[in-house]
Amino acid sequence: MKHQLNQEQRLTWKMTQRLSQAIEMLAYNGQDLVRFLQDQAEVNPLIEVSVTSPIPKGGQSGSLEFVQSVQEKSFHDHLQDQLVESAIPSTLLPLVQYGIDSLNDHGYLDITVEEWSKVCGASLAETEEALSFIQSLHPAGVGARSLQECIAIQLKRDQHPMYMIQLVYDHIQWVADQDMESIQDEYGISMEEAKRAIEVIQTCHPRPGIQYSSVKEDYIVPDGEVLKVKGEWVVRLSPWNTPKVVVDEEMYALSNEHQEASAYLEEKYQHAKWLQMAIEQRKQNMKAIMEEIVKRQVPFFEYGAKEMQSLRMREVAEVSGVHVSTISRAVRHKYVQSPQGIVPLRDFFQQGLRMRNGQETSTEAIKHLLKETIRTENKQKPYSDQTLSQMLYDQFGIYISRRTVAKYRESLYIPSSTKRKKRG
């Protein structure tokens, strides 16, 4: 028997308590970070937390603007809690963790499986397995990549007939229009079954993530500000996003005089020093990420949503020297104030679509054009999705299919042409 030595690269998951805390700190917004440090100060007598500006309460004014809003709190935590109770293989855990980080607040996957596998250095088969695991979590529908897939996952979970799943993928517009005759003819079922199919599908939740959202703050406090200074766009981190940990050196010095306190204070001192380093590293990462976003999105800050540029996390990672997974965590639940209003950092990362002239445009820009086109239509003769697809190509050199137009239109909460005509 001939022996061979094979080298194989596999994902492994090793995490110390400090690494875990560093990842948590990166995901915190400014307010969460201060609260976390205050909790640390309660158990470490050497730590004092210093914030140059107090965290504003709802309704207070300051150097940055505050807008009434609702922030999601527990959706991602809910998914992470399920990982603890699951028998997930250790080799699959980092992939699943990254996938959960890449879900938006509605529960949909924000990246492609190909991008996901490339970032994590995993095979497509492993990544598909990780996606299947996420889609098995609660709430049903989480991890979907489209509205149709989201509803189909819920239907499969409840073991509904296959024709309902086919209806969702092939003719979801019939459900919206309650076209029972077409459904009956297409699938060879009774009128009662067609009616039941519509009722079941309409009970499915189109945005499963928001079922687990809760009010965290009455007001959003931006984590940074983008403004023009002497003709250049610059980033300023908010003061409450850059708190400082002050170490009581005098108390630490007591460890030399009191042997009993020596080991205890030494441990607390090392932890305090590590916190200082971790906060500084977080600040540098946030600054680097925001500065690169601003550099790539100047047209947006100058002219608004219609000029949003296509941008991928890996592009920012290559320039800023920050890992893609770090960027994914760093931008979650964080906002920046700009001349265009307060914008979630995640919104600056847009999939690109090549236009007729060879340039790329972002999905956000396309949605803006789609919204403006529908806004100016004749309400008695609203444009069909196919007509909108053709108009985008003729007027702007942008080709997207009728199905993609419908997908974007639904994400903007704009009804179909039939419904728009009825309203008009």
Global pTM? 0.52
159 and 186, same domain (yes or no): yes
Same domain, 84 and 172: yes
Q: Is residue 11 part of a domain?
A: no
Residues 206 and 304 in one domain: no
- Between residues 288 and 209, which one has the greater pLDDT? 288
Confidence of residue 142 (pLDDT cuts 50, 70, 90): very high
Whether the Cβ atoms of residue 233 and residue 226 lie closer than 8 Å to each other: yes
- Is 9 part of any domain? no
Domain match, 226 and 324 both = yes
**381 and 283 together in one domain:** no
Q: Are residues 79 and 194 in the same domain?
A: yes
Count of other CB atoms within 10 angstroms of residue 37: 23
User: Are residues 331 and 237 part of one domain?
Assistant: yes
Tokens representing 414 are 């704009």
Q: Considering its fold, how many domains does the chain have in total?
A: 3
Query: Does residue 327 share a domain with residue 225?
Result: yes
Residues 80, 297: Cα–Cα separation, whole Å: 32
* 338 and 361 together in one domain: no
CATH number at residue 382: 1.10.10.60
Going by their DSSP bridges, the two strands 360-362 and 219-220 should be labelled as: unpaired
| Residue at 128 is within a domain | yes
Same domain, 134 and 81: yes
**Cβ atoms of residues 9 and 121 within 8 Å:** yes
Domain that holds residue 409: 352-423
Distances (CA, A) of 180 to 53, 165, 168, 175: 60, 16, 14, 8
Single residue among 296, 316, 347 that ends a domain in this structure: 347
| Residues ≥6 apart with Cβ < 8 Å to 166 | 187
80/197 same-domain check: yes
Domain assignment present for 336: yes
- Residue partners of 387: CB distance under 8 A and separation at least 6: none
pLDDT tens by residue, 60-96: 434 444 443 434 445 777 787 787 667 777 778 888 8
Given a cut of 70, is residue 18 above it in pLDDT? no
pLDDT score, position 190 = 92
Give me 116's structure tokens: 């996901």
CB neighbours of 21 closer than 8 A, spacing ≥ 6? Answer: 278
Q: What was the pLDDT predicted at 212?
A: 65
The rounded distance, in Å, linking the Cα atoms of 248 and 263 is 16
Question: Would you say residue 383 lies in a domain?
Answer: yes
In a domain, 246, yes or no: yes
pLDDT category at 128 given cuts 50, 70, 90 is: very high
- Mean pLDDT, residues 256-273: 75
| DSSP letter (8 states) at residue 210 | G
Among 193, 214, 235, give the residue marking a domain's end: 214
Q: Is residue 17 part of a domain?
A: no
User: What is the pLDDT, as a whole number, of residue 390?
Assistant: 84
In a domain, 169, yes or no: yes
Domain shared by 186 and 83, yes or no: yes
Question: Three-state DSSP class for 332?
Answer: coil
Other residues' Cβ atoms within 10 Å of the Cβ of residue 57: 11
pLDDT of residue 100: 85
Q: Given 214, 240, 259, which residue is the final one in a domain?
A: 214
